[in-house]
Amino acid sequence: MQDFSEYLDFSKDLAVNAGKILSKYFGNINSIKQKSTRIDLVTNADIECENFIVKSIQNKYPDHIIIAEESTLPEKNSDFKWIIDPLDGTTNFVHNLPIFAVSIGLQYKSKTVIGVVYNPAANKLFSAKLNGGAFLNDKKIKPSSSSTLSDSLIVTGFPYLQDKRWDLSFDIFKDFYSHSQGVRRLGAAALDLCFVAMGRFEIFYEFNLKPWDICAGALIAEESGAKVTDWDGSNYPDSGQRILATNGHIHDEALSLLSNHDLNIYF
């Protein structure tokens, strides 16, 4: 089995240096544009940070494929694919809320092998290597031990779209809300996954995410011992279309709650 340590070290350095670019702009944003909808935003920090990450990968690994949120990059043939969100939590960033992160994932032969999520505002670096455990600033992390939904704190997010699925997502929200200790909406999916990994939340669920929102965070969650699946319990899609991450102990309860809803419209 190939050892991916070289890529882990590279990704950690890269995320910390990319985080310096975000820190430079935090509180000083001067260019905000709308993307797919009025509430889907991109700033000069997203763009400069992404350009830095992409160039650094291209310099070191010119043959690797790169998928990054804000760019369309040339198609290539390689077993290695980097999946990048230069700034997860752009809306928070624009409002000077320090809940945002750089997210860097690496897949080898379509399997995620490296995940790094860095929140520069709190200097929190989450990282994982396949079969190597999950870490926060070099300290091993694990999910919480809560064993019932009623003892759980949940985190979720809402997509930028506003259609039938969006309406139904509020029914699911109410259901989780009334069966748990509360549901939070922090606005950075990569961090939501890391917070399940370190035991702050028992459950994260969301739909209509993108590969770069979940690639790194899902590996960090799995490597911490959390369970990550699709909403029907099968393998979660890399697309980010649906994801459920729990501390493992309450996964079946969460799946059972989800199954009471008309999930067909999400699949």
Using CB under 6 A as the criterion, which residues of the chain lie in contact with ligand IPD when the complex forms? Answer: 85, 88-90, 157, 159, 187-189, 209, 213
Least distance in angstroms from the C-beta of 43 to ligand IPD: 10
SS3 89: coil
Q: What's the min distance (Å) between Cβ of 77 and Ca ion?
A: 27
DSSP state of 88: E
> Closest distance between Ca ion and the C-beta of residue 189, in Å?
6
How far CA 65 is from CA of 51, 89, 105, 113, 215, in Å, comes to 15, 24, 12, 15, 15
Residue 50 CA: distances (Å) to CA of 147, 208, 249: 40, 22, 37
Q: How far is the CB of 88 from Ca ion (least distance, A)?
A: 4
CA distance 133 to 112: 13
Select the binding partner of residue 180 from Ca ion, ligand IPD, none (C-beta < 5 to 8 A, by kind).
Answer: none
Burial of 123 by CB count in 10 Å (0-12 exposed, 13-18 middle, 19+ buried)?
exposed
Indicate which of Ca ion, ligand IPD, none lies near residue 223 (CB less than 5 to 8 Å, by partner kind). none
Please report, as residue ranges, which positions from 79 to 118 form the binding site for Ca ion (by CB under 5 A): 85, 87-88
Residue with smaller CB distance to ligand IPD, 94 or 132: 94
192 binds Ca ion (CB under 5 A): no
CA distance 133 to 127: 9
Between 202 and 253, whose beta carbon lies closer to ligand IPD? 202
C-beta nearest to ligand IPD: residue: 157
Among candidate residues 110, 137, 109, 255, the one with its CA nearest the CA of residue 194: 137
Q: Which of 213, 222, 238, 253 binds Ca ion (CB under 5 A)?
A: 213
Kindly list the residues in this chain that would bind Ca ion in the complex (CB under 5 A): 69, 85, 87-88, 213
